[in-house]
Amino acid sequence: MTGNTFGDIYSITSFGESHGISIGGIINGFPSGIFIDEDFIQKELDRRRPGQSPFATSRNEGDKLEIQSGIFEGKSTGAPIGFIVKNNNQNSKDYSSIKDIYRPSHADYTWDKKYGIRDYRGGGRSSAREHIARVVAGAFAKLFLKQFDIRITAYTYSVGEISIDYCDFSEMNNPISCPNINKAEEMMQLITSCKSENDSVGCVVACIIENLPVGLGEPVFDKFPAYLSHAMMSINAAKGFEIGEGFNLAKMRGSVANDSFYNERGKIRTKTNYSGGTLGGITNGENVDFKVAFKPIPTISKEQNTVDNKGRETIINVQGRHDSCAITRAIPVVEAMSAIVVMDLLLKNRLSKN
Amino acid sequence: MTGNTFGDIYSITSFGESHGISIGGIINGFPSGIFIDEDFIQKELDRRRPGQSPFATSRNEGDKLEIQSGIFEGKSTGAPIGFIVKNNNQNSKDYSSIKDIYRPSHADYTWDKKYGIRDYRGGGRSSAREHIARVVAGAFAKLFLKQFDIRITAYTYSVGEISIDYCDFSEMNNPISCPNINKAEEMMQLITSCKSENDSVGCVVACIIENLPVGLGEPVFDKFPAYLSHAMMSINAAKGFEIGEGFNLAKMRGSVANDSFYNERGKIRTKTNYSGGTLGGITNGENVDFKVAFKPIPTISKEQNTVDNKGRETIINVQGRHDSCAITRAIPVVEAMSAIVVMDLLLKNRLSKN
Amino acid sequence: MTGNTFGDIYSITSFGESHGISIGGIINGFPSGIFIDEDFIQKELDRRRPGQSPFATSRNEGDKLEIQSGIFEGKSTGAPIGFIVKNNNQNSKDYSSIKDIYRPSHADYTWDKKYGIRDYRGGGRSSAREHIARVVAGAFAKLFLKQFDIRITAYTYSVGEISIDYCDFSEMNNPISCPNINKAEEMMQLITSCKSENDSVGCVVACIIENLPVGLGEPVFDKFPAYLSHAMMSINAAKGFEIGEGFNLAKMRGSVANDSFYNERGKIRTKTNYSGGTLGGITNGENVDFKVAFKPIPTISKEQNTVDNKGRETIINVQGRHDSCAITRAIPVVEAMSAIVVMDLLLKNRLSKN
Amino acid sequence: MTGNTFGDIYSITSFGESHGISIGGIINGFPSGIFIDEDFIQKELDRRRPGQSPFATSRNEGDKLEIQSGIFEGKSTGAPIGFIVKNNNQNSKDYSSIKDIYRPSHADYTWDKKYGIRDYRGGGRSSAREHIARVVAGAFAKLFLKQFDIRITAYTYSVGEISIDYCDFSEMNNPISCPNINKAEEMMQLITSCKSENDSVGCVVACIIENLPVGLGEPVFDKFPAYLSHAMMSINAAKGFEIGEGFNLAKMRGSVANDSFYNERGKIRTKTNYSGGTLGGITNGENVDFKVAFKPIPTISKEQNTVDNKGRETIINVQGRHDSCAITRAIPVVEAMSAIVVMDLLLKNRLSKN
């Protein structure tokens, strides 16, 4: 009810601030009897962790998952899965310089006004460290979805003005998981030059979900794209979402945009997939593909005009090491939130028919 | 839980198929003691009604609101507000031609597979007539929000390839509510020519929400943009959502994209509003502006390849009068869903502080 | 969220006041593909209707069910089932005498203070006519449960000081559904004499649920008895609930109260059933039996001390025909709420295991 | 949705098994800006802890609260409050003797059937150690309610056949918090003798909530007594609930049972309080009083007939130290669940009126 739970049947309820004791959560609705590969979950967490590539900040938190409950003799029991990830660096920095000042395009001002109090250390609850709980819940969901061979792959679609011009997943083994090796090089150069200029840059993450069954999505309000877009737009810095051809579809004619059905060896398929794998808000068995736009990371080491918490105008210049692009850290979170959505809708769909 | 309720504290639960007895719903969480202007609500419904302009279908259903409960002596009582809108045309047409055939890019196939049964008459539950319940709930929400002078205005941003090049609300009094009269003319010509070609075309609705207080949005999962995007992407044919500069922000540098704070006669404001009125998922007091992309209406009177419910390939050609663009009917629904989101978050925000 | 929805996966959201246009509701989560016997549902409604026996009031409302949606060609479609039951007598009475006065032990005072406004006609939303929506949702649930041969039987356990001393369902064909014909006669005499004295009397409804599978109930907060008790205590005038031996168990020793397991032709059974069919909050396959205590109907044609809405002390004497015991009308509601609980928990339980 | 969350606006989501790493939870909806007295919360936990009196088991777990988040500089921030309480004794015992055997009147059998797997160590998730999370959430709620001077006092009403014959809170300073010192002595002797006989005995906890405002409770399904009874019946071993005169009201006449209103120095009061502080499911400003019946603790060191997980009949005799009466440990849990209910309904009620 108050925004810290996502999912209905399969759900994650999370807690934790950047510089508190720990980040953690409780997973509910994970069925009993599933073998839990903790190494896989830790690896998913590691993908999100800062310091994994030159394109992310060098703070190395470790981010060691400590499962508290819900697993017995290696298997899920159906009981809630509590977990924590300790914050190791919580006392390492002096935040007094930003204590009373609102960083532009950050959550500082709105959070302070909403709650009347704010844990300013490292962004507190508004920090991207909160995504840790999402990645853990997403990793559990992936373990569940693996049974049905459902695969979720997020990748870099664009950084700044540079977009991929083709998509070849065999080229994706690069630090920004971009399936277009030439563009990947350009993008990484752009990120590096932003860093050296103490600036940051936006990006678009694309994602493809393969092997979905027909029938996922709960009309009329929890249509697949609606629920998925809720998930994506809840990620820090997300500013846009589109599914299939998205905003391009708004420019097209129906005679072009409609995805014709045909019969492929007994299976109903569509010749094109402009819709992005859903019709009437329900998956149609084609791949779901979507994009999420992220704004530039607002923390930059440049002088900016702002105000303090008394409303007095002032200048801020946030020093220290910061990511200059969200791309490497957004990718695992986009996958994680997708996995939660798919698992929740898959479980719900089991109840549709008698 | 099963997708027919939207909102937590202020909520609408809806029912009804295009050709059933009625479309209706139950509004919960509307506070007691508010004067209910039923004429206003009926007028909102009339805005959505087909046949209101040459750019929409000529089916004239009447769509007369019948409130069943929750109002006493002109005022809300705090009890649930039940309402129905009768379907007058439910037996007027022969649907046997599409009974067993899946219309391309429609909900027919997915609905049939999900539930194993489908009310094929006029699209059944997947019809845009379902939006009636949303418009009613949105109109009630607008009555509530009026107290705080919160205004919600949706308008035509683009039709097909034609977009507005400025936004002047004084020019908006045209059949497609486009705040750019020259472009409005072009757009209407495009719609007319699509109609004459038995084709349809996509569009983008933009919306601005003015006079919001600081503090709306419930981190971390029900951030204002996340919740709003859920609402928008649940509208029939919606394929994309962006807030503020949206996908453009992904191309920008932080030093440009950051919205600097300043003090305007004692009020904290931002010089730019690329973020679209939210920071950290919480409203910052600037206008919220966002866009929703709609695909072309899939019903076109052209021959299309498709399959029937046995998977046999066939040709379909849906005759009859159809909208050729969703624009006029999408606008009131975008406003309605916005109003529901704002009211629900406004009520939730009352509980944030001690 | 605001108390007008019951159930999570299978749910009823209700609306309506005693003297408004209609009482109605929306059923969600009813799976598609189930044949809907509308006659059965109407008969369940008829059981609750006043004027069905000399022991209930003679107001004859008809209470004709009008299903609005969710059923196509005789079967459920998975879409929400909207329904209304019109109020025929809504203008028939003069309520000005109680308009400003709080009837003792009624909802008048608390409702007025909570909402600041109250539909005083016939109790408004606090009237037992609200139970109509429950009975409809319960009847649908019974149709679902019939597939599994799950049977729910509520009956009169006591009226005033008179309790049954045995339970023989073959004797239950009497106006108060009491499985003990001698006691039934005494109880009916008591009700008649209360009526003639312009007084009322309390009662206890017992209920047995047969043929439940093992596994229903969702620990730790939605244990079967917890959820069932919520359902029962939400019925008008309910003041107590117990399952199995209930309050008697508090007097017993463990060595006596424990229900020993044994093997009955391959099935695990318990020799006694003091627990009432649940262990650890989960059904164990034995019959669930429970009791609900109802206070005397507070409307009596006697002078009573009370206050008006200005707090002035006064005398009230409510004239007219009233039930003198809730028993005949409570029985179908107890069954209906039980059916909703069982169906919801049965659907939830399908998601427990992988 | 899956039973591990209680509360809507103010809520606790819990996790943990008796012999896992920790018991913990996440509190949501606690408003920002409230001073958090951690000592008070720890003391509440200590009240529930085993080994606090001769009438409870001697296992001394420590039960040290470790708050993870949601508090900054001594005050609540509005963010979720994560907490854990480590299990210190998790490896201390050999459970192989009950690993495959179902203890009579325990959750072993039903849990095993529901989930197909069960953490048998100390009852796993079905252990009363789960109540720890409830007590923590209840203690936070008490801190909130203290502002309004709302007081919640649970006490021993009966043990076995022995009930109090008056209630004098000045006599309550005894190990079983019984406000009737003579009866308290008898009850304690009974518990002692049960212990020496390797047997156990049931009990009734009564509770009084003072200083409630008028207006709490959300009709029609979340009436105060309905919601409270849900809370109480979700406590381990609870088998019955009644509010006010409860089952006695079923024996009474309306002319006796009705609580007459009068004006006490400008405040509307009732002369009697048979209803137990609620009318129409909404608090009326009188004290809420209710009772909860608990069955005897099923773990007894006596030979009992049972079956194993293959269905084979066998004899079980559970050795070790066990509580012989739930009374001392149930009291703080009854208070905690009451506090959660009151706080949640108090917050909800803020949204009733415009």
Residue A55: per-residue pLDDT? 61
Beta-carbon contacts of residue C265 (< 8 Å; ≥ 6 apart):
none
Question: Which of these, A28, A338, A35, A48, lies nearest to A208 by C-alpha position?
Answer: A338
Chains that touch A (3 or more CB pairs under 8 A): B, C, D
Q: In this prediction, what percent of chain B has a pLDDT beyond 90?
A: 89
Question: Which of these, D79, D120, D81, lies nearest to D99 by C-alpha position?
Answer: D120
Task: Identify whether the C-beta of residue D340 lies closer than 8 Å to the C-beta of residue D134.
Answer: yes
C9, C75, C79: residue with CB nearest B125: C79
Residue D150: per-residue pLDDT? 98
> Are A353 and C33 an interchain contact pair (Cβ–Cβ within 8 Å)?
yes
Beta-carbon contacts of residue C182 (< 8 Å; ≥ 6 apart):
none
Residue D39: per-residue pLDDT? 97
Question: Which of these, B76, B78, B81, lies nearest to B34 by C-alpha position?
Answer: B76
Q: Are strands A162-163 and A151-159 parallel, antiparallel or unpaired?
A: antiparallel
Q: Are strands B5-6 and B11-15 parallel, antiparallel or unpaired?
A: antiparallel
Beta-carbon contacts of residue C169 (< 8 Å; ≥ 6 apart):
C153, C155, C179
Using only the alpha carbons of chain C, give its radius of gyration.
21
> Are A114 and D78 an interchain contact pair (Cβ–Cβ within 8 Å)?
yes
d(CA D37, CA D39): 5
Beta strands in chain B (DSSP E): 5-6, 11-15, 22-28, 65-67, 71-72, 75-76, 81-86, 151-159, 162-163, 203-210, 238-243, 261-264, 267-270, 278-279, 282-283, 288-294, 304-307, 313-316
Instruction: Return the residue in A8, A10, A11, A13 with the most chain D beta carbons within 10 A, the one to mutate for interface testing.
Output: A13
By residue count, chain D amounts to 354
Q: Which amino acid is at D176?
A: I
* Structural domains of chain A, ranges and CATH numbers in brackets: 5-349 (3.60.150.10)
Q: Which helix (DSSP H) or strand (DSSP E) does residue C289 occupy?
A: strand C288-294
Task: Identify whether the C-beta of residue D276 lies closer than 8 Å to the C-beta of residue D289.
Answer: yes
Question: Which of these, D10, D185, D129, lies nearest to D81 by C-alpha position?
Answer: D10
DSSP D56: S
Residue A91: per-residue pLDDT? 57
Task: Identify whether the C-beta of residue D77 lies closer than 8 Å to the C-beta of residue D32.
Answer: yes
Rounded average pLDDT over B86-108: 83
d(CA A53, CA A323): 11
In the block, tokens 């381990």 appear at: D236
Chains that touch C (3 or more CB pairs under 8 A): A, B, D
List Cα–Cα distances, C120 to A253, C100, C125, D287, in angstroms: 57, 9, 9, 26
Instruction: Return the residue in B9, B72, B110, B121 with the most chain C beta carbons within 10 A, the one to mutate for interface testing.
Output: B72
- Residue D72, pLDDT > 80, answer yes
Task: Identify whether the C-beta of residue A130 lies closer than 8 Å to the C-beta of residue A337.
Answer: no
pLDDT, averaged across chain C: 94
Task: Identify whether the C-beta of residue D19 lies closer than 8 Å to the C-beta of residue D128.
Answer: no
List Cα–Cα distances, A346 to A9, C217, D322, in angstroms: 10, 22, 44
d(CA B220, CA D6): 20
User: Both tokens of residue A61?
Assistant: 């938190």
Residue B55: per-residue pLDDT? 61
D21, D79, D114: residue with CB nearest A68: D21
SS3 state at D332? helix
* pLDDT one digit per residue (tens) for chain A, 354 residues: 689 999 999 999 999 999 999 999 999 999 999 999 999 999 999 998 876 665 655 555 589 999 999 999 999 999 999 999 999 865 556 777 788 999 999 999 999 999 999 999 989 999 999 999 999 999 999 999 999 999 999 999 999 999 999 999 999 999 999 999 999 999 999 999 999 999 999 999 999 999 999 999 999 999 999 999 999 999 999 999 999 999 999 999 999 999 999 999 999 999 999 999 999 999 999 999 999 999 999 999 999 999 999 999 999 988 777 789 999 999 999 999 999 999 999 999 999 999
User: What own/partner pairs with CB < 8 Å and gap ≥ 24 does A272-276 have?
Assistant: A273/A244, A274/A244, A274/A245, A274/A249, A274/B295, A275/A243, A275/A244, A275/A245, A275/B105, A275/B239, A275/B295, A276/A225, A276/A243, A276/A244, A276/A245, A276/A246, A276/B239
> Are A125 and D77 an interchain contact pair (Cβ–Cβ within 8 Å)?
yes
Question: Which of these, C22, C25, C2, C6, lies nearest to C14 by C-alpha position?
Answer: C25
Residue C348: per-residue pLDDT? 98
Residue C322: per-residue pLDDT? 79
d(CA C89, CA C100): 22
Task: Identify whether the C-beta of residue B274 lies closer than 8 Å to the C-beta of residue B249.
Answer: yes
> Are D14 and A66 an interchain contact pair (Cβ–Cβ within 8 Å)?
no
Rounded average pLDDT over D216-240: 98
Closest Cα in chain C, distance from residue B73 (Å) = 9
Q: Which amino acid is at C293?
A: A
Quick one: pLDDT band at residue C93, thresholds 50, 70, 90? low
- Residue D93, pLDDT > 70, answer no
Model ipTM? 0.97
Closest Cα in chain A, distance from residue C228 (Å) = 21
Rounded average pLDDT over D32-53: 90
Beta-carbon contacts of residue C333 (< 8 Å; ≥ 6 apart):
C48, C131, C134, C135, C138, C235
Instruction: Return the residue in A34, A76, A77 with the most chain D beta carbons within 10 A, the one to mutate for interface testing.
Output: A77
Residue C1: per-residue pLDDT? 67
Q: In this prediction, what percent of chain D has a pLDDT beyond 70?
A: 95
Contacts A–C by Cβ distance under 8 A: 41
**Residues D188-211: tens digit of each pLDDT:** 999 999 999 999 999 999 999 999
List Cα–Cα distances, C204 to B57, C46, C240, C330, D30, in angstroms: 59, 21, 9, 9, 39
Quick one: pLDDT band at residue B92, thresholds 50, 70, 90? low
Q: Give me the residues paired with residue C209 across strands.
A: C152, C288
**Residues B13-59: tens digit of each pLDDT:** 999 999 999 999 999 999 999 999 999 999 999 998 876 665 655 55
**Residues B66-81: tens digit of each pLDDT:** 999 999 999 999 999 9
d(CA C186, CA C159): 9
Question: Which of these, B274, D187, D82, B184, lies nearest to A24 by C-alpha position?
Answer: D82
Task: Identify whether the C-beta of residue D81 lies closer than 8 Å to the C-beta of residue D27.
Answer: yes
**Residues C209-233: tens digit of each pLDDT:** 999 999 999 999 999 999 999 999 9
User: Both tokens of residue B144?
Assistant: 């509530």
> Are A33 and D116 an interchain contact pair (Cβ–Cβ within 8 Å)?
yes
SS3 state at B137? helix
Q: Which residue of C has its CA nearest to A28?
A: C352
D chain contacts of residue A28, beta-carbon cutoff 8 Å: 1-2, 4-5, 13
Residue B203: per-residue pLDDT? 98
Rounded average pLDDT over D275-279: 98
> Are C119 and B13 an interchain contact pair (Cβ–Cβ within 8 Å)?
no
Residue D321: per-residue pLDDT? 72
Task: Identify whether the C-beta of residue D26 lies closer than 8 Å to the C-beta of residue A25.
Answer: yes
Annotate C61-99 with DSSP letters as a single string: ----EEE-SSEETTEE-SS-EEEEEE-S-TTSS--TTTT
> Are C81 and B15 an interchain contact pair (Cβ–Cβ within 8 Å)?
yes
**Residues C232-255: tens digit of each pLDDT:** 999 999 999 999 999 999 999 999
Instruction: List the C22-28 sheet strands across, edge first.
Output: C5-6, C11-15, C22-28, C81-86, C65-67
Rounded average pLDDT over D114-140: 95
Quick one: pLDDT band at residue C326, thresholds 50, 70, 90? very high
Distance of CA A20 to the CA centre of its chain: 22
Closest Cα in chain D, distance from residue C161 (Å) = 5
D chain contacts of residue B29, beta-carbon cutoff 8 Å: 351
Chains that touch B (3 or more CB pairs under 8 A): A, C, D
- Residue B117, pLDDT > 60, answer yes
d(CA D345, CA D76): 20
Residue D51: per-residue pLDDT? 62
Residue A244: per-residue pLDDT? 98
Exposure string for C186-217, b = 16+ CB within 10 A, e = fewer: ebbebbeebbeebbbbbbbbbbbbeebebbbb
Quick one: pLDDT band at residue D62, thresholds 50, 70, 90? confident
A chain contacts of residue C33, beta-carbon cutoff 8 Å: 353-354
Closest Cα in chain D, distance from residue C5 (Å) = 7
Task: Identify whether the C-beta of residue B300 lies closer than 8 Å to the C-beta of residue A255.
Answer: yes
| C259, C263, C264, C267: CA torsion to nearest 10 | 100
Question: Which of these, B82, A72, A100, B296, lies nearest to D115 by C-alpha position?
Answer: A72
Q: Which amino acid is at D194?
A: C
Beta-carbon contacts of residue C206 (< 8 Å; ≥ 6 apart):
C154, C155, C156, C157, C167, C289, C290, C291, C292
SS3 state at C193? helix
SS3 state at A335? helix
Quick one: pLDDT band at residue C323, thresholds 50, 70, 90? confident
Residue A97: per-residue pLDDT? 77
Residue C96: per-residue pLDDT? 77
Task: Identify whether the C-beta of residue B311 lies closer than 8 Å to the C-beta of residue B35.
Answer: no
Rounded average pLDDT over B105-124: 94
List Cα–Cα distances, C326 to A162, C48, C106, C331, in angstroms: 74, 11, 14, 9
> Are D350 and B350 an interchain contact pair (Cβ–Cβ within 8 Å)?
yes
